[in-house]
Amino acid sequence: MPIIDTDIHHVPDSRRVPDFLPEPWRSRYLSGSRGPGHLGYWNPNGVMRADTVLPDGSRIEASAEALARHFIEPYGIEYGVLTGGNQHIGLSPDPDFAAAVLSAENDVLVHDWLPVDPRLRASLMVSPADPELAAREIHRLGDHPGFVQVMMPSAGRIPYGQRYFHPIYRAAVEHNLPVAVHPGSEGVGISGPPTAAGYPTNYFEWHTGLVGSYIAQLTSLVLEGVFQKFPTLKFVLVEGGVSWLPALLWRMDKNWRALRQTTPWLDRPPSEIVREHVLLTTQPLEEPGRPEHLHQILEMFDAGHMLMFSSDFPHWDGDTPDFAARRLPPPLRPRIMSETARELYRLPPAEPPVR
């Protein structure tokens, strides 16, 4: 069946980024100051799969040519959406530097990646630290046919439903682009602690708790009325899992019946708003001991119109297309593996690459 992969982590060449950076940001970048870093948790598996190193020492995720030859072609992927880049810098306390670096990384995509293979699409990276600068970047490249969504880190200084971020959503809507969030920056830079309880001790705990950011952000987006103000906006929760969603929808609907006076702009139950505006990606797809339990969860929300396949290649915990498809109920496979993403990103049937 056709496959559209909505989460492929390319690694742009950091040596190319300065070519698109004006001063004084270029000198600062070259000095080694490239973002707020990370919390330093140790992952025994590493971040990238060890088998993505090629015989010449290069890595599959480091070039469009290698990615096409060693991942997209072997799996017959019709389109692959690139989601890599330096997301941590989006939470830098210096919003001007963050915006400049992400703009340069977007230019690297335009010049070095998207022209190489017609199956590649990309995420337009912006920093939430300054929504006006983010909106300016969306207006700069939002009509480029290679960009299919706006991307931000899933962690932030304040919840994403608040009006502070509305310039980002307004610009995205003007260019018919969904907005997506991706995990990994929780606790970094100007974001808050990675969990509501504070700072975990190890990577296992931190990684397991990432879902908390998605619960908080989705609740904020819905209850703050973002989708009432921007009725055509679509929001994609990349790499956040799916099993938590039904329980959250039940909880919001229950509370809406009792507390709707506090959100008078909500004209219908929150679950209906989420069904219309929010999508998720499969990886990391939950793996219960009894597979039928996953199928039951997928029956608890409109998975056929809200869930899209993602491999998370080449991360250590990624899911190959055949692995993910086998775990899905057969009736849902065509939509999850390709058709929902095709509709969201307005992708035509792919043409073979020019060689």
Q: Which helix (DSSP H) or strand (DSSP E) does residue 257 occupy?
A: helix 245-259
Q: Which residues make beta-bridge pairs with 183?
A: none
Which amino acid belongs to residue 265?
W
Q: How confident is the model at residue 84 (pLDDT cuts 50, 70, 90)?
A: confident
Please give the model's pTM, rounded to 2 decimal places: 0.96
Q: What angle do CA 54, 55, 61 make, to 5 degrees?
A: 10
- Residues 148-170, mean pLDDT to the nearest whole number: 97
Q: Which of 103, 153, 150 is nearest to 128 (CA)?
A: 153
Q: Give the span between the Cα atoms of 127 and 215, in whole angstroms.
A: 21
292: how many CB neighbours lie within 10 A of its CB? 9
How many CA atoms lie less than 13 Å away from 335 in the CB half-sphere? 14
**pLDDT for the residue numbered 351:** 64
Task: Considering only the C-alpha atoms of the chain, give the largest distance between any 2 of them, rounded to a whole number of Å.
Answer: 63
**pLDDT for the residue numbered 86:** 84
For 251, phi then psi, to 5°, come to -65, -45
**pLDDT for the residue numbered 170:** 98
198: how many CB neighbours lie within 10 A of its CB? 9
Structure tokens at 30: 């070259």
Q: Which of 173, 183, 170, 161 is nearest to 281 (CA)?
A: 183
- Residues 117-128, mean pLDDT to the nearest whole number: 97
Q: How confident is the model at residue 35 (pLDDT cuts 50, 70, 90)?
A: confident
Structure tokens at 56: 């010449």
How many residues are recorded in the chain?
Answer: 355
Q: Architecture of 4-345 per CATH?
A: Alpha-Beta Barrel (3.20)
Q: What is the pLDDT of residues 301-329, one digit of tens each?
A: 999 999 999 999 999 999 999 999 999 99
Q: How confident is the model at residue 352 (pLDDT cuts 50, 70, 90)?
A: low
Percent of the chain's residues with pLDDT above 90: 91
Q: Give the span between the Cα atoms of 237 and 340, in whole angstroms.
A: 14
Indicate if the pLDDT at residue 21 is higher than 70.
yes
Q: Give the span between the Cα atoms of 299 and 307, in whole angstroms.
A: 12
Q: Give the span between the Cα atoms of 124 and 235, in whole angstroms.
A: 14
243: how many CB neighbours lie within 10 A of its CB? 15
Q: What is the pLDDT of residues 221-262, one digit of tens each?
A: 999 999 999 999 999 999 999 999 999 999 999 999 999 999
CB 148 within 8 A of CB 113: no
Average pLDDT, the chain: 95
Per-residue buried b or exposed e for 39-60, using 16+ beta carbons within 10 Å of the residue's own CB: eeeeeeeeebbeebeeeeeebb
Q: Which of 231, 76, 79, 86 is nearest to 151 (CA)?
A: 86
Give the CA-trace dihedral at 199, 203, 207, 210, to 10 degrees. Answer: 20
**Per-domain residue ranges of the chain:** 4-345
Q: Which helix (DSSP H) or strand (DSSP E) does residue 245 occupy?
A: helix 245-259
